Structure 1
Amino acid sequence: MNLKITASTLLIVGLLIPAFSIAQQLSTSDSIDVFIKNKMQQKHIPALQVAIVRQGKIVKNATYGIANLENTITATDESIFSVNSITKAFVGVAIMQLAEEGRLKITDPISLYVDSLPATWQKITLQQVLTHTSGLPDILDAEEQVMGHGDENEALQKVKKLPLEFNTGDKFSYNQTGYVLLGKIITKLAGMHFTKFIEERQFKVAGMKLTRFGDSYDVIPNYAGAYTMTRQVGDRFIRNNTPGVSYMQFPVFFRTAAGILSTATDMGNWVIALKAGKLLKQKTSIETMWTPAILNNGKIGGFNRLTNGYALGWPTVTREQHPAVGPVGGGRSALFVYLKDDLSIVVLTNLMGSNPDQFIDEIAGYYIPEMHETNGFGLSADVQKLRLALLKQGFNNAVTVSTNLKKKDPQLNLTENELNAWAYQLLKQKKADQALSIFKLNVALYPKSANAYDSLGEVFEITGNNTDALLNYKKSLALNPENKNALDRIKALSN
């Protein structure tokens, strides 16, 4: 059929394209709303803000829930959340600003700028301090409180008496002492207190109108507060059924480590300003700031499998697919800047332990579908190979498929923990049959693992097969007589 193109046809098509685009954006936005509300319910998060940046602008900006549980105050876009250790990323920017101005080099020893340091600290560099590879003793005590009862001199005198925790550069170990020293260095070189320098050179430049420094002892308008699902009883932490109030104290000298309060909108504007060259003029400065430290053994080190590296104040998500830098704070706030994608996502919450870094990738999946967990994103390269083969040949053939893959590629490494985690993902996705196949595979590959049998017993119990559940719990207990879960389930299923 020949189609005659007319002016009116072009007009209609021109109208339909933006209409479709808007509808698509609305659908994506609505889907994210549903996902976030479900996640908040699962994790008991009182309030959450999200800001999503694409093409140099915020394309989604939303707030959900209750900012203040005590007075049932609804959260708004102007509710202010503590970003905790995301503050360190601002410090990274501040140090690079001073480097661009020629006032320091990140390879300089800290002793060049701070007097009266112990001899063992003298050669530690700014870069090693920024990346938590210094080996410095931590200025936090056993109770996770800042030493010195809020007094900077007392805190520093105490920590200086402690030995180095390891040889500089040997490993990554999260440490607050170095950031206190960085605060002193910024103050000295900038000619103003580090809080003022960050306010002037970052908050104001990026248009962060509601952002400030503070803690629970400050009166903060529209503060969303801090809540926790755990409480300490003696030496143990007990999980509550509902959130309880949490208090945070960040002495002024400690506020390079944690101390910024902000909104998702402000944080989104900060990312926009940073990527637009308003905070750092040279592209190489950002590249340096986002490059993870290399340890003495040639590897990188970070918090966990996801945030597996650490750069200059910025944790890194170093991976082949959709790498990112991902500052996290207090287990309650996270910011991911995807390095190869035009996408940045800010999630702020008021619940310690909500760990939004664990579900930011899933939010990204609404813009980049391959990043959805259901599409296998986040699995290791070897487990992804197994997944693709199983999708073609059937999950019921998991043992045979994995055996054949191993024959073709002897280097294939299907670890017990990865398979176990994937199986639980499948279970969460309501794919119980597929999950069962992977749990069975894990037992076949790791027949001496009590945990593998325990997990298989659990999925059998969930699917109503109590006979096989009991059998596998007993195998688990035989391998590990101290497995309390297996013992409890055996008793429950035997009655």
Structure 2
Amino acid sequence: MPQSRARTENEIDRYVKQIQQSHRIPGLVLAIVRDGKLIHRANYGLANIEFSVPVTDDTVFPLFSSTKIFSVVAVHRLIEQGKLSLDSKLVNFLTDLPEAWREVKIENLLSHSSGLPDIVAYENLPEAEAQQAVYAKAILFKPGTQFDYNQTNYWLLNRIFQKILGKSLSAYIMETQFAGTHSSAFFEGNHLAVMPNFSTGYNNTSDKLTKRNWHFPQYNYGAAGLNLSMNTFLEWNKKLEEGALISAASLTKLRQPFVYEKPRNFTYGWDLIELNGVATYGFTGGMATAYRQVPQKKMTLILLANAMFIPTAQRPGLDAIVNRLLMMAETIP
């Protein structure tokens, strides 16, 4: 390894260990790809503190809302196949919608411009009860006018997939994006479930670390619930870049900025973050996982952790950490 490259990688390692310590993250993995080749990859810390289990390439991490990365690809795949369109209204597929919801389109779900009330407030209820509760709430604004992040959008996408294909959004993702990788890619919303290589999740919001006891309902697995190892995530990223999941034209459309009346940087499914004047795309989840593409630099970063990067006046948040790592990675020869 050239000396300059080794020096840069050591700087990345030092920075990662610094933020890991300051945020009290037991374990994490980081990979950076450029021109289809790994330029940095490392595992840090423990997947389980009690039994001193180290993080490895095969450790599986919950993705939280980064699950939406794969759901968005699934939607654009159906658009490619002509099974729906960005302009399709929800009422074309779902006949039980409240009157005020009937003008909402697929593009509004993907861009979080639907104005719908958030079903996350009722995620501890069975689906039928959660549906009844969220249907009773008023729509927040005219669809398309502004950004308002919510999980209802992905609950509705899941129902639309069931209507069109007779299978859930999560089942379709596993079938088309992760065939044959069920031990290192699976949907499971219970973070206390016992699964092979499953990292223990930790709450680090108080002085004492405790086990994370989060639970995402199966009916909203499109919004969260996917769990991946870094090996499998990297394989998926390679397939995406090679056009095996959706076409290059569809990926370009996915990255196209959505135009809101009240401006916000977001695309037809992924976040859009400007980094020194360069457009980057991706998603973060649970303040613990991040996926970011930089097409202009032909670079992608994946970071998975088993506790949260909680921003404070002294500590950067996850987007700022990703930005810093990408800038450091640019100096790798």
Q: TM-score, normalised by structure 2?
A: 0.91
Q: Confirm or deny that 1:246 pairs with 2:212.
A: yes
SS at match of 1:310: coil
Question: 1:433-465 CA distances to partner (integer Å, 9 max, x unpaired)?
Answer: xxxxxxxxxxxxxxxxxxxxxxxxxxxxxxxxx
For 1:22 and 1:320, locate their aligned partners in 2 and report how far apart those are by CA, in whole Å.
27
CA deviation profile, 1:271-330 (whole Å, cap 9, x unmatched): 22111101012x221111112321124x2x2xxxxxxx2223311114562220021000
Contact 1:80-1:222 within 8 A present in 2 as well = yes
* 1:369 Cα deviation after fit: 4.1
Conserved in 2, the CA contact under 8 Å of 1:208 and 1:266?
A: no
Alpha carbons of structure 1 residues 48 and 110: separation in structure 2 relative to 1, 3 Å: same
Give the C-alpha shift of residue 208 in structure 1.
Answer: 7.9
**Tell me, what secondary structure is at the counterpart of 2:114?**
coil
1:411-422 matches, within 5 Å, as: none
1:146 aligns with 2:112: no
| Secondary structure at the counterpart of residue 223 of structure 2 | coil
2:320 is matched with: 358
- The question of 1:82 aligning with 2:62 is answered yes
User: Is the contact made by 1:227 and 1:351 (CA closer than 8 Å) also made in structure 2?
Assistant: yes
Matched, 1:72 2:72: no
Deviations 1:36-76 (A, max 9, x none): 11111111111010111112133332111011123332221
The one of the two structures with greater contact order (alpha-carbon pairs below 8 A, sep at least 6) is 2
**Structure 2 contact 258–267 (Cα < 8 Å) conserved:** yes
Aligned to 1:212: 186
Deviation of 1:79 after TM superposition, in Å, equals: 1.1
- SS of the counterpart of 2:119? coil
CA distance in 2, matches of 1:319, 1:33: 21
Indicate the structure with greater strand content.
2
Secondary structure of the structure 1 residue equivalent to 2:297: coil
Listed one character per residue, the Cα deviations across residues 225-248 of structure 1 (whole Å, up to 9, x for unaligned) are: 221222xxxxxxxxx224322211
Aligned to 2:158, the other structure's residue is in SS state helix
Taking a change above 3 Å as real, the CA distance of residues 267 and 208 of structure 1, as seen in their structure-2 partners, is farther
Instruction: Report what 2:287 is aligned to.
Output: 331
Q: Within 1, Cα distance between the matches of 2:2 and 2:177?
A: 33
1:166 aligns with 2:131: no
Query: What is the aligned partner in structure 2 of residue 315 from structure 1?
Result: 271
Structure 2 Cα separation of the partners of residues 60 and 339 of structure 1: 18
Inter-CA distance 368–345: structure 2 relative to 1 (3 Å threshold): same
- Kept in 2, the 8 Å contact 1:289–1:311? The answer is yes
Alignment of 1:342 onto 2:302: no
1:89/1:312 contact within 8 Å kept: no
Q: Choose 1 or 2 for highest CA Rg.
A: 1
Given the superposition, is the C-alpha separation of residues 176 and 105 from structure 1 closer, same or farther in structure 2, using an over 3 Å criterion? same
Tell me if 1:199 matches 2:174.
yes
- SS at structure 2 position matched to 1:365: helix
* Segments ≥4 residues shifted beyond 4 Å: none
Match of 2:233 among 262, 267, 271: 267
- Preserved CA contact (<8 Å) 1:212 1:261: yes
Unpaired runs of 5+ residues, structure 2, are 311-316
- Structure 1 residue 331: deviation in Å? 0.7
Distance 1:162 1:133 in 2: 17
Structure 2 counterpart SS, 1:274: helix
Question: Structure 1 residues 53 and 140 mapped into 2: Cα distance closer, same or farther (>3 Å)?
Answer: same
Determine the C-alpha separation between the residues in 2 that align with 1:25 and 1:199.
37
C-alpha change, 1:208 and 1:321, in structure 2 (3 Å) is farther
Map of 1:9 onto structure 2:
none
Percent identity, please. 29
* Structure 2 residue corresponding to 1:294, chosen from 256, 259, 269: 259
* 1:72/1:320 CA distance change after superposition, 3 Å: closer
Mapped to 2, the partners of 1:217 and 1:242 lie a distance apart of: 18
1:121 paired to 2:77: no
Query: Residue 185 of structure 1: CA displacement?
Result: 1.0
1:255 and 2:229 correspond? no
**1:195 alignment partner AA:** S
- CA deviations over 1:170-219 (Å, ceiling 9, x no partner): 221111111001011122223323222101111128x6861111122532
Q: CA deviation at 1:342?
A: 1.5
C-alpha separation in 1, matches of 2:140 and 2:200 = 34
CA contact (8 A) 1:213 1:260 kept: yes
Q: Judging changes above 3 Å, is the alpha-carbon distance between structure 1 residues 88 and 167 closer, same or farther for their aligned structure 2 residues?
A: same
8 Å CA contact 1:228–1:351 kept in 2: the answer is yes
- After TM superposition, give the deviation of residue 264 of structure 1 in Å: 2.4
Long gaps (5+) in structure 1: 1-20, 231-239, 302-308, 371-495
2:83 to 78, 85, 103: 103
Q: What is the deviation of 1:263? A: 1.9
* 2:60–2:228 CA contact under 8 A, matched in 1: yes
Cα distance per residue 1:388-433 (max 9 Å; x no partner): xxxxxxxxxxxxxxxxxxxxxxxxxxxxxxxxxxxxxxxxxxxxxx
SS at match of 1:337: strand
Cα-to-partner distance string for 1:349-398 (whole Å, 9 max, x where unaligned): 1112344322112112223249xxxxxxxxxxxxxxxxxxxxxxxxxxxx
Name the structure 1 match of 2:201. Answer: 226
Helix, strand or coil at the partner of 1:204:
coil
1:333 and 1:357 in contact (8 A); partners too: no
Distance in 2 (alpha carbons) for counterparts of 1:36 and 1:155: 40
Contact preservation (8 Å) 1:53, 1:272: no
The amino acid across from 1:204 in the alignment is: A
**Matches of 2:325 and 2:235 in 1, distance apart?**
19
Report which of the two has the higher share of helix. Answer: 1
